[in-house]
């Protein structure tokens, strides 16, 4: 058996909220109930629970997945929380499929639920940041991506109007997405982007993701089990790869490079694709510069040509390369353990994108970015290739 022997048979997603009006387990229960209703699967058939670890909710509870199973009344043979930062949602698909292939479970519930704004809890974990970067004023991701942007600009140059185009394209998609955070469903222009408040030079407010609350989930099972249940409308994961601590053993690296250079090649090879075969692209977007670097790492263009690629490519939902058709995290809100791009890709491949439905549902490519390590690009990179069931 292999990754592609499995099927995503249903997805569910709450509205993204600036601050949740409901407890995280209420949101989780709503997701589970919707998935059961969509599939006709009985709750007792679920014997796998896989959760994303990128969450500020319940962060002090090392038994978060087990506790969630308890609260939801699930008895499972496989219980896992995936800790690869923003790669976790895509990583959940690969790990759930591996568990099914290994006979550890048959029907997996993938849950991405987060109310970190409601709980307003700050992480107290031990890392290099508190000792080596915070005292010098590099306070979190905006500062780190500000340095990354400056490094890219020094090496290749930055066209801020093209970054503005990315911001406007994703915002236009969010306006058509009823589940996007309502506070973000406001039109913007390139001039609005250029004039937005500076956060960590050259990172502007409209470069940045906004933390939000919400939940999402998937049901993954074997293609055989899906057929037996009459669930013919599904999405098949056909290629996955991840890379953590890219060039971590080297003392001096080009910070504009990332592990996507390796993960992309492996995932595309497993899928049997060339990069030109990709029909819609759903990259992880915590900052706009990350989109440019991913275009280059995946081979849509050569290193340093990302700005020209953005200028010459129609990235709208009905364009030549639809990108983040739900608005991306930057314009939909960073919620549900950063699973937004994965859920949107599944929705599009099932033909349920509504007003923003892409024309070509042959396939979709989803990416992940996880954590910020010391003196390099992001620490984990993931790529997931998806196709609708034929």
Please report, rounded to a whole number, the percentage of residues in the chain having pLDDT higher than 90: 84
How many whole angstroms separate alpha carbon 143 and alpha carbon 149? Answer: 10
Confidence (pLDDT) at 1: 46
Residue 95's CB is within 10 A of a number of other CB atoms, namely: 22
**Per-residue H/E/C for 149-191:** HHHHHHHCCCCHHHHHHHHHHHHHHHHCCCCCCHHHCCCCCHH
pLDDT at 236 over 90: yes
pLDDT class of 275 with cuts at 50, 70, 90: very high
Q: Can you tell me the mean pLDDT for 181-200? A: 97
> Is the preceding peptide bond at 202 cis, omega within 30 degrees of 0?
yes
In this structure, of 10-14, 77-81, 246-250, 358-362, the range with the lowest mean pLDDT score is 246-250
Strands of 53-171, DSSP E: 78-82, 107-114
pLDDT class of 129 with cuts at 50, 70, 90: low
Residue 119's CB is within 10 A of a number of other CB atoms, namely: 18
Between the alpha carbon of residue 317 and those of residues 31, 95, 139, 203, the distances in Å are 26, 30, 35, 26
Q: Can you tell me the mean pLDDT for 294-299? A: 98
CATH 3.40.47.10 for domain 3-121+211-228: yes
pLDDT at 130 over 50: yes
How many whole angstroms separate alpha carbon 128 and alpha carbon 132? Answer: 6
The tens digit of pLDDT for each residue in 165-190 reads: 999 999 999 999 999 999 999 999 99
Confidence (pLDDT) at 59: 58
Task: State the chain's mean pLDDT as an integer.
Answer: 94
Confidence (pLDDT) at 367: 98
pLDDT class of 196 with cuts at 50, 70, 90: very high
At a CB cut-off of 8 Å and minimum separation 6, what does 255 contact? 147, 148, 151, 375, 376, 377
Please report, rounded to a whole number, the percentage of residues in the chain having pLDDT higher than 70: 95
pLDDT at 131 over 80: no
pLDDT at 123 over 60: no
Confidence (pLDDT) at 281: 98
pLDDT at 121 over 70: no
Confidence (pLDDT) at 376: 73
How many whole angstroms separate alpha carbon 298 and alpha carbon 125? Answer: 32
Q: Considering only residues 123 and 335, tell me which one the structure prediction assigns the higher pLDDT.
A: 335
pLDDT winner (highest mean) among 57-61, 63-67, 247-251, 365-369: 365-369
pLDDT at 128 over 50: yes
Q: Can you tell me the mean pLDDT for 259-266? A: 97
Which DSSP helix (H) or strand (E) runs through 366? strand 364-372
Confidence (pLDDT) at 217: 98
Which residue ranges make up each domain of the chain?
3-121+211-228
At a CB cut-off of 8 Å and minimum separation 6, what does 84 contact? 53, 91, 242, 244, 368, 370, 371, 380, 382
Q: Can you tell me the mean pLDDT for 58-73? A: 87
How many whole angstroms separate alpha carbon 64 and alpha carbon 288? Answer: 31
Confidence (pLDDT) at 127: 63
Question: Phi-psi bin for 17: left (phi > 0), alpha (psi -120 to 50), beta?
Answer: beta
Q: Does the model's pTM come out above 0.85?
A: yes
């Amino acid at each position: 058996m292999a990754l592609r022997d499995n099927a995503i048979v249903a997805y569910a997603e709450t509205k993204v909220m600036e601050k949740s009006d409901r407890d995280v387990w209420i949101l989780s229960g709503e997701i589970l109930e919707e998935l059961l209703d969509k599939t006709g699967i009985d709750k007792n058939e679920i014997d796998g629970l896989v959760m994303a670890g990128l969450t500020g909710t319940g962060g002090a509870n090392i038994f978060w997945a087990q506790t969630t199973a308890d609260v939801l009344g699930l008895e499972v043979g496989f219980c896992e929380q995936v800790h690869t930062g923003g790669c976790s949602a895509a990583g959940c698909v690969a790990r759930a499929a591996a568990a099914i292939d290994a006979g550890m479970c048959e029907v997996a519930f993938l849950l991405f639920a987060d109310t970190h704004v409601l709980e307003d809890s700050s992480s107290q974990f031990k890392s290099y940041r508190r000792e080596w970067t915070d005292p010098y004023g590099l306070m979190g991701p905006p500062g780190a991506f500000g340095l990354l942007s400056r490094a890219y600009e020094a090496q290749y140059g930055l066209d801020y109007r093209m970054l503005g185009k990315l911001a406007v394209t994703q915002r236009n998609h969010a306006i058509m997405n009823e589940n996007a955070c309502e506070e973000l469903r406001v039109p913007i222009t390139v001039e609005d982007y250029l004039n937005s408040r500076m956060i960590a030079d050259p990172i502007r407010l409209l470069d940045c993701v906004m933390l939000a609350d919400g939940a999402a989930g998937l049901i993954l099972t074997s293609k055989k089990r899906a057929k037996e249940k009459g669930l013919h409308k599904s999405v098949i994961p056909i290629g996955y790869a991840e890379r953590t601590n890219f060039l971590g053993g080297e003392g001096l690296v080009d910070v504009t490079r990332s592990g996507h250079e390796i993960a992309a090649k492996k995932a595309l090879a497993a899928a049997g694709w060339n990069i030109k075969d990709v029909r819609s692209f759903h990259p992880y977007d915590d900052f706009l510069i990350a989109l440019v670097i991913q275009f280059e790492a995946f081979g849509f263009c050569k290193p340093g040509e990302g700005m020209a690629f953005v200028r010459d490519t129609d990235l709208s939902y009905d364009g030549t390369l639809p990108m983040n058709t739900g608005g991306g995290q930057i314009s939909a809100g960073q919620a549900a353990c950063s699973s937004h791009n994965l859920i949107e890709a599944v929705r599009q491949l099932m033909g349920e994108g509504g007003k923003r439905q892409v024309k070509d549902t042959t396939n979709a490519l989803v990416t992940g970015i996880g954590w910020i390590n010391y003196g390099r690009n992001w620490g984990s990179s993931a790529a997931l290739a998806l196709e609708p069931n034929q």
